[in-house]
Amino acid sequence: MVVAAGSGSNGAALQGLEALCRVYWFPLYVFARRKGHSPESSQDLVQWFLERFLEPGYFVTDPRRGKFRVFLLVSLKRFLATEWLEGSRPQREGVVPIVPPNLDEVESRYLDGPPDKLTPDRSYERRWAEILLDVVLARLRVEHESTGRADVFDRLQPLLWGPHSEISFAALARELKLSEAVVKSTINRLRTRFREMLREEASHTVESRSQVDAELRHLLGGIVE
């Protein structure tokens, strides 16, 4: 998709690439902030970069490069080195911003993240992993909203990912007014579906499905450091 979009030969590929950029723009903002740019400068930088990145013919890439996460960050670094001039971003009428225009919300999102002493590159990866999880959990919740069981999903969601306290299935069953067996089977189904969705979402950003498991190990191992 990246190769086709970069050549300008496939409008559907360009739309798909733009959709990926809309999901994963925030790690770029985090990288810029961790590199010392101000909130205003970081927002302008990322918006201008993505506008340029999505122009047909802006880049030509080797299809064997692999991970979109890595390619996007390398492209941003190249943009910083060759094109970025702080305060000089051209105002282009009719361009829909990929980075939300509310700077306060963007910066609050950055500040609300866990404090860390990671390098800008590793902070970028951590936020990428967090967004990956957010996207999957949001999709999974929508599935349960359609069946009228969003309340059950909200209660069980903390058990799908990350460390959690000892589970009392009996207490959960009483709280949800379900049998203990139903609670256990529901959690197992949710975990299975969560893993399926996680692999599906990760597959959009790697060269082949054979890379999915390694990408998830790399990202989700880092998020719990």
Q: Which domain-ending residue is among 81, 113, 145?
A: 113
Q: What is the structure's pLDDT at 223? A: 54
Q: Which domain-ending residue is among 113, 135, 168?
A: 113
Tens of pLDDT, residue by residue, the chain (225 residues): 565 555 555 667 778 888 889 999 999 999 999 999 999 999 999 999 998 888 877 765 555 556 889 989 999 999 999 888 776 665 555 567 889 989 999 999 999 876 668 899 999 999 999 999 999 999 999 988 888 888 889 988 888 876 665 678 888 899 889 999 999 999 999 999 999 999 999 998 888 888 899 999 999 875 543
pTM as predicted = 0.84
Q: What is the structure's pLDDT at 197? A: 95
Q: Are residues 1 and 109 in the same domain?
A: yes
Q: Are residues 76 and 161 in the same domain?
A: no
Q: What is the structure's pLDDT at 59? A: 65
Q: Helical H runs in the chain?
A: 2-7, 11-24, 26-34, 39-53, 68-82, 103-111, 120-145, 150-156, 169-176, 180-203, 212-222
Judged on CB neighbours under 10 Å (0-12, 13-18, 19+), 88 is: exposed
How many angstroms separate the Cα of 156 from the Cα of each of 5, 176, 184, 201? 40, 10, 10, 21
Q: Are residues 45 and 72 in the same domain?
A: yes
Q: What is the structure's pLDDT at 181? A: 93
Q: What is the structure's pLDDT at 206? A: 86
Q: What is the structure's pLDDT at 225? A: 38
Q: Are residues 100 and 149 in the same domain?
A: no
Q: Are residues 138 and 51 in the same domain?
A: no
Q: Sign of torsion, CA 13 18 22 25?
A: positive
Q: Which domain-ending residue is among 82, 113, 144?
A: 113
CB 190 within 8 A of CB 160: yes
Q: Are residues 120 and 94 in the same domain?
A: no
Q: What is the structure's pLDDT at 97? A: 84
Q: Are residues 2 and 109 in the same domain?
A: yes
Q: What is the structure's pLDDT at 26? A: 96
Which range marks the domain in which residue 123 is found? 115-225
Q: What is the structure's pLDDT at 224? A: 43
Q: Are residues 127 and 213 in the same domain?
A: yes
Q: Are residues 8 and 103 in the same domain?
A: yes
Q: Are residues 52 and 37 in the same domain?
A: yes
Q: Are residues 196 and 140 in the same domain?
A: yes
Q: Are residues 56 and 28 in the same domain?
A: yes
Q: How many domains does the chain have?
A: 2
